[in-house]
Amino acid sequence: MNRNRTVRIGGASGFWGDSAMATPQLLEVPGLQYLVYDYLAETTMSIMSRARAKNPGAGYATDFVTAAMGPHLATILARGIKVVANAGGLNPHACAEALQQVAAEQGLHPKVAVLSGDDLMHAMPAWTEAGLADMHTGEAPPAGLMSANAYIGAQGIARALAWGADIVVTGRCVDSAVVLGPLVHEFGWSWTDWDRLASGTLAGHIVECGAQATGGLFTDWQSVQDWDRIGYPVIDCAEDGSFVVSKPADTGGLIHPGAVAEQILYEIGDPGAYLMPDVTCDFRDVRIEALDADHVRVSGVRGRAPGGQYKCNGTWLDGHQIALALAIRGIDAPEKARRTAQALLQRTRRMLAEHGYPDYTETSIELIGCEALYGPQAQPLPTREVLLRLAARHPDPKALRFLQRECASAGTSMAAGTRATLFGRADIQQVVKVFSFLVDKSEVPLAVTLGARRETMDVGAEIGDLPPAAPLAPAPAGGEAPGPRVQAPLVALAWARSGDKGDDENIGVIAREPRFLPLLREQLTPQAVREWFAHLVRGEVVRYEVPGIHALNFVMGQALGGGGAASLRSDPLGKSFAQMLLDFPLSVPAAWVQR
């Protein structure tokens, strides 16, 4: 085996709806061997479950077939580039059939493999009867589940590639599996080589959100050039598991250690126990090294056995909701907006009672433009223009029609300067919530299908026990920084990025310089962060140390109003939380901020 060999992989999609320019851009990269696509998230699965409920042939990422593959399939096949995508969602076989049809219309005949088995709906009645419970609440599964899927790993992907598949379509595998599968196949890694499996998983985690690794969402956004043609990530992975992050030549974006560090901490929870189906990852001692302006090397990942259970999610319908948007301008715009919202709710509550409906189960009033989500930290800046976002939830969709209709009347009967139908008539939507549970891997056989060949895989024998993470050495005490102190915001000393894990929020904070970390550790305590977000967070705040990249990772429980499709907030995925935390005031040596 050539130990100097690397495998080159392009990350062409970070979510269902990502830019169509990613695929043709990455096809310009010399020596590209794999294109990988990640389409799935909890919110995406809820959208797919609604689609499949209306049409049994739906429930997959149609963009993969029409935008990513269709226009570029001939080039991909001619160059021998392999494709791995979890675009199958809730219906991977239908996705593969649609892809084959598009290929046939072009006179092409790719070998398309399908990885299935993650769909657990057939087993739910028996498991429910046996006492299956939500892993967080202990409650029994709700009646009328719309979907139930296990977060499966990369073993089936590697098997399909070994069979000679050109394209592998999966259901609900974990995001990073689309990279780990090709690496195991190419390097022949053992499924118990925990460090390499963890390294391959981190490589997948870096590219799974597309351009987030190449300057997208970077704290120092001013330094990121040409958003209109931002480069998508390319990774060159070595046999030892280390890898180099880059992007296509002559594209926008930025390759920067800080941007890569932000993505490492993105939505990982405990960095010492990032639980994946194939391996438990430990990112605490990861090292990031800038090789030059266009290449960053990542190494030092550790892994251990993953344990014997899959995490699984079911989706279920829990009523309906509507979100209205009204533009209100003029003198005292915020006060006019608040009064408008209260009037519409009072009026429609009266209508609900008159027609025999119960009250709304939940409502939300947000004044966009007045720092609505900032709570006590909002700056009282005067404004004469407000976007009023008024949302409500009710078990019966018919009950929401009153608010849907009455909203328009605000344009003539309430505040001067009101545009009551800014985005047209608002839709009434289903509320899809998540039921999370654990299932023994031995009860979830996976199936790999390629043409007439089909094989069932039992991965339960190669799981190992789930040991705890090794304790970190005590953090070194920070010496007293010299000179006078001044107050400065966190952004002066750190980068940060945030994202969701269901109803929990994850904020990674990375010191711009190693010497800043002791001060951050001292002042950015879990208690201080909890108080900063007290108006949003109902649970506890836990802080994790990540000394390898001089970082802290915060996990805030019950922070998103239910999270995803279950939240009425304008930021149900918590993308803005890091931006709010970057204003956190610190007492710092004046010399540090006079650079």
Is residue 189 within 8 A of residue 183, CB to CB? The reply is yes
Listed by start position, the domains of the chain span 4-116+151-306, 317-431, 485-590
**Tokens (6 digits) for 234:** 């390319």
What average pLDDT score do residues 226-252 get? 98
Categorize the per-residue pLDDT at 3 as very low, low, confident or very high, splitting at 50, 70 and 90.
low
Q: What pLDDT sits at residue 460?
A: 56
- In tens, the pLDDT along 26-35 reads 999 999 999 9
Q: What pLDDT sits at residue 44?
A: 86
Same topology for domains 317-431 and 485-590, yes or no? yes
Give the C-alpha separation, 41 to 280, whole Å. 20
What average pLDDT score do residues 469-482 get? 78
CATH topology of domain 317-431: Alpha-Beta Plaits (3.30.70)
Cβ-Cβ contacts under 8 Å for 393 (sequence gap 6 or more): 319, 320, 321, 360, 361, 362, 363, 431, 568
Is residue 26 within 8 A of residue 32, CB to CB? The reply is yes
User: Nearest-CA neighbor of 171 among 143, 147, 135, 207?
Assistant: 147
Multiple choice CATH, 485-590, 3.30.70, 3.30.1690, 3.40.1130, 3.90.75: 3.30.70
**Sign (positive or negative) of CA dihedral 210, 213, 218, 220:** negative
**Tokens (6 digits) for 245:** 């992050």
What average pLDDT score do residues 188-216 get? 97
Categorize the per-residue pLDDT at 463 as very low, low, confident or very high, splitting at 50, 70 and 90.
low
> Is 454 a residue whose pLDDT tops 90?
yes
Angle, in degrees to the nearest 10, between helices 177-187 and 155-162: 50
The runs of H, that is alpha helices, within 393-513 are 401-406, 410-413
- The distance of Cα 9 from the centroid of its chain, to the nearest Å, equals 20
Mean pLDDT for the chain?
94
Q: What is the 3-state secondary structure (H, E, C) of 184-203?
A: HHHHCCCCCCHHHHHHHHHH
Pairing of strands 551-556, 541-546: antiparallel
Compare 563 and 585 and report the one with higher pLDDT: 585
Percent of the chain with pLDDT over 90: 86
> Is 46 a residue whose pLDDT tops 90?
no
What average pLDDT score do residues 157-168 get? 98
Q: What pLDDT sits at residue 42?
A: 77
Percent of the chain with pLDDT over 70: 98
DSSP H or E run through 270:
none
- In tens, the pLDDT along 52-61 reads 888 999 999 9
CA 320 to each of CA 142, 222, 427: distance values in angstroms, whole numbers, following the listed order: 16, 40, 10
> Is 1 a residue whose pLDDT tops 60?
no
Per DSSP, the residues of 545-581 read EEGGGTEEEEEETT-STT-GGG--SS-TT-TTHHHHH
> Is 283 a residue whose pLDDT tops 80?
yes
Residue 30 sits at φ, ψ, to 5 deg, of -65, 140
> Is 266 a residue whose pLDDT tops 60?
yes
- In tens, the pLDDT along 80-126 reads 999 999 999 999 999 999 999 999 999 999 999 999 999 999 999 99
What average pLDDT score do residues 361-366 get? 97
Categorize the per-residue pLDDT at 461 as very low, low, confident or very high, splitting at 50, 70 and 90.
very low
Q: What pLDDT sits at residue 2?
A: 55
Categorize the per-residue pLDDT at 510 as very low, low, confident or very high, splitting at 50, 70 and 90.
very high
Is residue 219 within 8 A of residue 582, CB to CB? The reply is yes
**Sign (positive or negative) of CA dihedral 196, 197, 201, 207:** positive
